[in-house]
Amino acid sequence: MHFRLVTHFPKFLNLICLLLPIAPVHSEEAIKPNIVLILCDDLGYGDLGVYFQNEGDGGRTPKVEMAATPRLDAIAAGGMQLRHHYTGAPVCAPARASLLLGVHQGHANVRDNQFDKALEDQHTLASVLKEAGYRSACIGKWGLQGGKEMPAHPLNRGFDEYFGYISHGAGHLHYPKEDKKKLHDGKEEVGADYDKCYTTDLFTARAKRFIIDHHAKQKEKPFFLYLAYDTPHAKTQAPSCAFPEGYGVKGGLQWLGTPGKMINTAIGKPDSWLYPEHQDATWNDPERGARRPWPDTAKRYATMVRRIDDCVHDLVITLRDLGLEKNTLVVFTSDNGPSKESYLRGRDANGYPRGFDPGFFRGYGPFDGIKRDCYEGGVRVGAITYWPGTIPAGKTSSQASQFHDWMPTFCEMAGLPAPARSDGVSLLPELTARGNRSASTIYVEYSNKSATPNLEDFQPSRRGQPRRQMQMLRAGDFVGVRQNIQSHGDDFEIYDVVKDPGQRRNLASSMSDLQKRFKDRVLQIRRPNSTAPRIYMDNLAIPAVVPSSATVPGLEMQVIPRAVPWPVASFAAKQESRIMVAAPQVAEPAIRTAHGLIFSGWLKVANEGSYTFSLPDGCRAILKLHEATVLDTDRGDGSGTVKLAAGFHPLFLSAAIKENSPAPELRWAVEGKEAAPVPAEAFWRNKN
């Protein structure tokens, strides 16, 4: 029997290492932490006080201070800020798909502007945590359901409870009944009972109810709450009343459950109430040379952000009241950069246009770019992490991370090895200050027919620049980005985003080696998707690499002695479980005693060409070449075709073994010829 895949990744560019130690498979006795993941919609990096509004950054300051987020600022002070955290994509649906699936946009099935497309039936944050005994709830905006039949409803993707807007379009407006938008409780439409319910309040009240009920009825089980706000996205609608007094179990937002008054803020007039500091705010208008009231849309937007601030604080105090704060990780982030949408028409009473100008508060912070841009302002969203007693307070991270890193992070917290399919690395060592974490793979691809807006803060050459096909990736402090791509030969702009967050100084002319590595790497970490074609690169061969050390024939095989629920990215085990094999063959006794196998090394290809890999039916395995998932027989297709350049390709094959599992014999069909076992002479490993 033959097993072929190798994973010794090159060291250049800090590529992800798939064989990192991770926590062992969970035991029932372990105390597993709860997880609250909060995702805002179109909240810009620059909209938060702690990131930008309070003091500015990178040579820029807010044009007008928003009086933004005092509660979130306090939460950030009690935990760690991930200021170099990236979304999966610069628009909501693909960003959410990457977050939930634990893969970047080079592997996600939802890409570009595929709103309401069905999230593929794969491992999700909810489904993997279910394996560890978690009860999970998704509350808020989904947008990945797959049409009227909703095959990818959250309840079909691992969640135990769902409440919110199932469709993407519903999330553009924030009063379900008054705006005639479909609201779902589970799979039942319930909007008729929800008079005057502002969604930020509504989703928060429902989230509090989930936490309180879970604690009362199932406190022995950990919970996972994915709270996906639909604000401050799209129509700039305000609450109907002031935030209720107090916070937590007995104060703040309360779920009443009475038709017509489902929550305690279902009073007053919808879209009418502004925070006093926003209602009466003025600014120095340089065009008029005098202080003027804020535009109406700016007042509304600032109130929407401040309401999120109050709501998140209300959740944290609820955890504290229930004694759960020290056993709960809270993550707060956004799906992409700020938008210029408002859905309001005409001019306000002071003569301002009622469209929203993201430059008024500089919601993009020290960066260029907004939603739908692959410059930092469109994709760097930051994250606040809070876990008292576990995450040290007052810390700020400058290490880059991305949405798909939450999958292995949550798995490690739950005591599970991450699925091999995931593109992420665990952030837990950094968050807890207990070790060094591996470098994250930062990658975005996106296509859109619009243009970067003509905002005065942005570099002149970017204003009005066509977007179209775009890519962004990061290596260390350096980001490569290109827009309106015509061919794979088009150069990346290269910026040191630590020293130059505004991406003003293009270093490409002096970094030819990095330019080549960027161009090679975007072919080595992704797979094409026919629904989102990249004509400039989809038919190119994956470049080979030069091994980082001397090689010898064979592979390294690791035998996993304990049960694993899926092919795993890595598994901490004793050194004797790692066996150097002369050829990729596994004896039957080893199969019978193993619960999983990992083969790693190099695949040496003699000639450039198309290679179709396959495994026997019933063999649950993941094959990666470089970082590209070529074959997935765990939850995906039974074969995978890839074009490879001649030379060495890092190879990794992970299989989950159960009783009566077939031997993991790797086969290939070269240039359409008949499939055959991959010959032993194609496999190599590092000498030391």
* pLDDT band with cut points at 50, 70 and 90 for residue 585: low
Q: Which CATH number fits domain 551-686: 3.90.1640.10, 3.30.930.10, 3.40.50.300, 3.90.182.10?
A: 3.90.182.10
**pLDDT value, residue 5:** 31
Q: Is the pLDDT of residue 590 over 70?
A: no
Residue 550: which of 359, 383, 688 has the closest Cα?
Answer: 688
Domain boundaries, the chain: 34-410, 444-524, 551-686
Q: How far apart are CA 525 and CA 425, in angstroms?
A: 15
548: its two tokens: 């980082």
Residue 651, pLDDT above cutoff 60: yes
Q: Count other C-beta atoms under 10 Å from residue 616's C-beta.
A: 16
Q: What is the mean pLDDT of the chain?
A: 92
Closest CA to 632 of 408, 406, 423, 417: 423
Residue 193 · residue 256 · CB < 8 Å: no
Q: What is the pLDDT of residue 43?
A: 98
Q: How confident is the model at residue 592 (pLDDT cuts 50, 70, 90)?
A: low
SS3 state at 114: coil
Question: How would residue 3 be classed by pLDDT, with cut points 50, 70 and 90?
Answer: very low
- Residue 660 pLDDT class (50, 70, 90 cuts): confident
Asked whether residue 425 carries a pLDDT value surpassing 80, the answer given is yes
Average pLDDT over residues 134-158: 97
Residues 197-238: pLDDT tens digits? 999 999 999 999 999 999 999 999 999 999 999 999 999 999
pLDDT for residue 663: 74
Q: Which of 186, 130, 183 is nearest to 155 (CA)?
A: 186
Q: For 346-359, write each residue's pLDDT tens digit.
A: 999 999 999 999 99
Please check whether the domain covering 34-410 is classified as CATH 2.30.30.100. no
Give CA–CA dist 181/186, Å, rounded.
16
Q: With beta carbons less than 8 A apart as the criterion, state whether 350 and 335 touch.
A: no
More confident residue, 58 or 536: 536
Chain segment 79-111, per-residue pLDDT in tens: 999 999 999 999 999 999 999 999 999 999 999
The pLDDT-based confidence of 586 (bands split at 50, 70, 90) is low
- As given in the structure block, the two tokens for residue 556 are 């390294």
By the 8 A CB rule, do 255 and 206 touch? yes
**Does 18 have pLDDT greater than 70?**
no
Kindly state the average pLDDT of the residues 149-154.
97
Q: 482 phi and psi, to 5 degrees?
A: -145, 140
The pLDDT assigned to 320 comes to 98
Q: Check residue 180 and report its DSSP letter.
A: T
Q: Do domains 34-410 and 551-686 have the same CATH topology?
A: no
Among the residue ranges 323-337, 455-469, 648-662, the one predicted with the least confidence is: 648-662
Supply the pLDDT for residue 306. 98
Q: Residue 188's pLDDT band (boundaries 50, 70, 90)?
A: very high
If you write DSSP's letter for every residue of 45-73 in order, what string do you get? GGGSIIIIITT-BTTB--SS-----HHHH
Q: Which of 77, 33, 76 is nearest to 332 (CA)?
A: 76
Which residue from 470, 487, 481, 483 is spatially nearest to 506, judged by alpha carbons? 481
How large is the average pLDDT for residues 251-257?
98
Alpha helices in 44-158 (DSSP H): 70-77, 92-101, 125-131
Kindly tell me if the per-residue pLDDT of 58 is higher than 70: yes
Query: Closest Cα partner for 394 from 80, 74, 70, 48?
Result: 80
Segment 128-149 shows an average pLDDT of 97
619 or 385: which carries more pLDDT confidence?
385
CATH number of 444-524: 3.30.1120
For the segment 281-322, what is each residue's pLDDT rounded down to a tens digit? 999 988 877 899 999 999 999 999 999 999 999 999 999 999
The answer, yes or no, to whether residue 152 has pLDDT greater than 80, is yes
